[in-house]
């Protein structure tokens, strides 16, 4: 294993902003798998998954090479924020970056040139953030790899539909290069992350099996549902969000209460959030009572009306 420190720029404090790229060489020829975490700084579970995976790699006897970027956005990780605190940019909307732009654009440019352009396949790990918890995997240009990861719920974005984001993402860079790309949304929230970490570790190994980097096929995957549309619900009022939604991955009826916002001052309910999808499935939720601001992520509901549901 070798780790390379790649400078980006110097901050006003005099500190140097840099990323660390870790390279692991396997036993024999094979593809280069890129593993990326913490494009958003409030998704620390993704960093834990890669740290724990780094401890396993030596014992796996894999072929090819693994390039690991455990912290793509050091500024956001330090600030515990989704956006970079220096310029308030969302790093996953500014790829491939700009070497003369905002600091986040400069960071994205360095990540693109030193990491994204050097991998044969990409697994980009994301999470719900510090309060919401999420559980699904995107299907874009590598359905076999996305399914192999082993999540029960997948999302196939439909161009032109509201909420579909393609441009400016890290996987957008790799897809344009024809590189098989898997974006994972797993874990987060104010709950024990151990189960999500273990699923992340198994998922990466499954992708390596599917790529031929590990001998044998991926582990048997669960019955999978693929949704084509996700509706994101955000509270209109700040306060305490008291959850009432079913568990992640479970169906939710149209009109069902997902949660309510309670004023911590008057102790009155100021908003009830209901499911607007006729036949829905839970994708992102708050699993604990959390403080929310207007516009925060509240819930994400997948539509089952046109979903691909495997027979079980």
The pLDDT tens digits for 95-149 are: 999 999 999 999 999 999 999 999 999 999 999 999 999 999 999 999 999 999 9
Same domain, 199 and 151: yes
Same domain, 10 and 143: yes
Reported confidence tier of residue 167, pLDDT bands at 50, 70, 90: confident
Please give the backbone phi and psi of residue 227, each rounded to the nearest 5 degrees, phi first. -100, 155
Closest-CA residue to 273 (of 249, 294, 250, 255) = 255
Task: Give residue 75's domain range.
Answer: 2-222
Same domain, 113 and 209: yes
Same domain, 200 and 239: no
CATH of the domain at 291: 2.40.50.100
Domain boundary at 169, 190, 222, which?
222
Domain boundary at 222, 247, 262, which?
222
In-domain check, residue 46: yes
pLDDT of amino acid 161: 63
Same domain, 177 and 113: yes
Same domain, 71 and 156: yes
Same domain, 198 and 259: no
Task: Domain count for the chain, please give it.
Answer: 2
Res. 162: pLDDT tops 60 = no
Overall average pLDDT of the 26-42 stretch = 97
Same domain, 216 and 238: no
In-domain check, residue 270: yes
Q: Identify the helix (H) or strand (E) that includes residue 171.
A: helix 170-176
Same domain, 197 and 271: no
Reported confidence tier of residue 159, pLDDT bands at 50, 70, 90: confident
What does the alpha-carbon distance between residue 95 and residue 290 come to, in Å, rounded to a whole number? 31
Please report where in the chains the tokens 């956001």 appear, as a residue.
76
Please give the backbone phi and psi of residue 280, each rounded to the nearest 5 degrees, phi first. -115, 170
312, 223 in Cβ contact below 8 A?
A: yes
Same domain, 28 and 160: yes
Same domain, 144 and 239: no
- For the stretch 268-295, pLDDT in tens is 999 999 999 999 999 999 999 999 999 9
Same domain, 82 and 173: yes
Reported confidence tier of residue 58, pLDDT bands at 50, 70, 90: confident
In-domain check, residue 242: yes
């Amino acid at each position: 294993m070798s780790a390379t420190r790649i400078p980006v720029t110097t901050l006003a404090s005099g500190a140097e902003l840099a990323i660390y790229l870790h390279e692991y060489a396997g036993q024999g020829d094979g593809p280069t798998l890129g593993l990326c975490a913490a494009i958003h700084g409030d998704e620390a579970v993704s960093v834990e998954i890669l740290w724990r995976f780094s401890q396993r790699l030596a014992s796996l006897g894999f072929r090819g090479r693994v390039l690991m970027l455990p912290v793509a956005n050091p500024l956001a990780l330090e600030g515990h924020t989704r956006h970079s605190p220096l310029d308030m940019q969302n790093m996953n909307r500014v790829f491939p970056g700009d070497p003369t732009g905002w600091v986040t654009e400069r960071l994205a440019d360095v990540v693109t040139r030193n990491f994204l352009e050097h991998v044969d396949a990409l697994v980009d790990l994301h999470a719900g953030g510090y309060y919401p918890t999420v559980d699904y995997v995107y299907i874009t240009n590598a359905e076999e790899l996305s399914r192999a990861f082993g999540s029960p719920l997948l999302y196939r974005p439909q161009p032109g539909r509201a909420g579909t984001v393609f441009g400016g993402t890290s996987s957008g860079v790799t897809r344009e290069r024809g590189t098989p790309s898997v974006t994972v949304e797993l874990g987060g929230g104010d709950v024990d992350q151990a189960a999500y970490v273990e699923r992340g570790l198994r998922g990466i190994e499954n992708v390596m099996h599917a790529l031929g980097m590990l001998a044998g096929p991926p582990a048997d995957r669960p019955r999978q549902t693929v949704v084509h549309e996700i509706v994101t619900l955000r509270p209109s009022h700040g306060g305490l969000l008291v959850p009432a939604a079913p568990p992640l991955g479970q169906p939710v009826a149209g009109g069902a209460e997902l949660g309510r916002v309670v004023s911590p001052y008057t102790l009155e309910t100021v908003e009830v959030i209901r499911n607007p999808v006729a036949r829905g499935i839970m994708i992102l939720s708050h699993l604990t009572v959390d403080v929310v601001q207007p516009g925060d992520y509240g819930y994400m509901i997948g539509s089952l009306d046109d979903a691909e549901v495997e027979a079980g």
